[in-house]
Structure formats: C-alpha cells, structure tokens
C-alpha cells in the first residue's frame, strides 16, 4: 500500500492542506490572508474526518518549507512539528518552488526546463530552476534575486517556461520574455504531498526536531531604511 501523508502549506495568503492516501491526493484550500494560525488546524481536522482518517493513520507529515512569507513558513513548520511530536510521526520539509514547478509540469506538460519564480517583495524574487524529465530535478537551488534580473536568469539557464506570481508582481519584467509563461500556477499542499510521497519512499523523512523553514534570505527582517533603499533600487 502507498503511504498516507498529511501535507500543510501556509507560505502564501492561501492556506491549504492535503492528504495522500490510497494512491490519490485530496486537498482543501482557503484564501485566509493573515489568519493561517486560526484556520489550519480546523482544516486538517475537517479533511481527516471527511475521509475517515485520523492523524495516527498518517505515516508522516509534510509541509511547505519555503521560500515564502516568513510568518507563514514558521506557522507551517511549527504546526507540523507539534503534530508530529504528539503523534510520534516523522516530517518531510518540501520546497515551495519545487512544488510550484511540479504543479506547472502538470499544467504545462510540454515544458522541459521550468524557472519557478515568486514575489519576495521589496523588488526581489525567489527563484529556482527545474528539469522535468525523466522526473522533476532541481538544477539551480532556491535563491534570491532582483526582480529586474528575472529575464536574464531565464536566458542564462535556458528555461523554456517561467512560472509563478513574480510575473504578476512585476509585469514589466514579464513583457520581456520570449518563452512560455505560467503566471497563475501556484504551489499548494497537493503538489507538496506529491513531492513528499517521492521523498518518503527515498527514506528522506526526518525527526520533527530537525524540521526548519527555508528562508533563503540571510536576514529575515530589514530595517525601514533598508526596505526603502531596496525599493528605490531599479
């Protein structure tokens, strides 16, 4: 039997939870703004109940480790650790950019190299590069770049598709591309669960105390002056 996994993602304004069980993946998602901590546990309870499962039935708990909104990443990691400690389960941190690339691969099956890029605010983006065949493979690890560097990164790495909300946040950059674009595809708990299934089979599950967010930025916070200076930089 395939493993049963619970997956959690709170990296964006959308809160989503998913279950992988019996060869299928089911998901519930809500746009919650800043209220992830209010909604994620009730959503988990409702999803488990709807499918006749309990947390004890899960083999491991996966979460979107980032990059993404700092508070959201901490919530996902903290909730996962708490549930895993309480239920005696292991955890699977999954990169949100990899999850975005997997969702893009499903939506645009012809893409060979996907540059996943999301808005990091302050005129910056988080990005990573993935090959799609024979299965999703990371070619360039998640990194931080200026929004104005996006098109050059695409050319440098030979991407034939760029995906993610960085294209919506910085439309002037999107207008420069001559490759395919997928601005509306997003990562979610469902794509995190699908990647977590592969990692679980590879023996990559960790004890809960080893779970940690992937911030990418060296510093989680900046001063007001630093934010203003970054925003003023073209």
Per-residue pLDDT of 33-76, as tens digits, reads 889 999 999 999 999 999 999 999 999 999 999 999 999 999 99
Question: 189, 40 in Cβ contact below 8 A?
Answer: no
State the fold for domain 101-182.
Nucleotidyltransferase; domain 5 (3.30.420)
State the fold for domain 5-96+187-221.
Nucleotidyltransferase; domain 5 (3.30.420)
pLDDT at residue 19 in the model: 98
User: For residue 102, which of 11, 221, 208, 192 has the smallest C-alpha distance?
Assistant: 192
Percent of the chain scoring above 90 in pLDDT = 87
Length reported for the chain: 234
Question: 201, 194 in Cβ contact below 8 A?
Answer: no
For residue 23, name the pLDDT band (cuts at 50, 70, 90). very high
**228 pLDDT higher than 80:** no
Q: Where in the chain is the domain with CATH 3.30.420.40?
A: 5-96+187-221, 101-182
């Amino acid at each position: 039997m395939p493993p049963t996994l619970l997956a959690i993602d709170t990296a964006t304004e959308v809160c989503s939870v998913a279950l992988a069980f019996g060869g299928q993946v089911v998901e519930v998602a809500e746009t919650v703004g800043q209220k992830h901590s209010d909604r994620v546990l009730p959503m988990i309870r409702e999803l488990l109940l709807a499918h006749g499962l309990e947390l004890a039935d899960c083999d491991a708990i996966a979460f979107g480790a980032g990059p993404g909104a700092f508070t959201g990443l901490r919530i996902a990691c903290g909730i996962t650790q708490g549930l895993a400690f309480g239920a005696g389960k292991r955890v699977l941190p999954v990169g949100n950019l990899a999850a975005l690339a997997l969702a893009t691969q499903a939506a645009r099956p012809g893409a060979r190299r996907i540059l996943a890029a999301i808005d990091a605010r302050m005129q910056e983006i988080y990005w990573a590069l993935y090959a799609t065949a024979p299965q999703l493979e990371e070619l360039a690890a998640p990194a931080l770049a200026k929004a104005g560097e996006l098109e050059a990164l695409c050319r440098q790495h030979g991407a034939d598709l760029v995906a993610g909300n960085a294209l919506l946040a910085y439309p002037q950059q999107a207008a420069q591309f001559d490759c395919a674009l997928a601005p509306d595809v997003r990562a979610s708990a469902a794509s995190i669960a699908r990647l977590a299934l592969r990692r679980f089979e590879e023996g990559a599950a960790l004890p809960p105390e080893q779970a940690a967010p992937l911030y990418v930025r060296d510093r989680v916070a900046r001063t007001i002056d630093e934010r203003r200076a970054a925003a003023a930089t073209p």
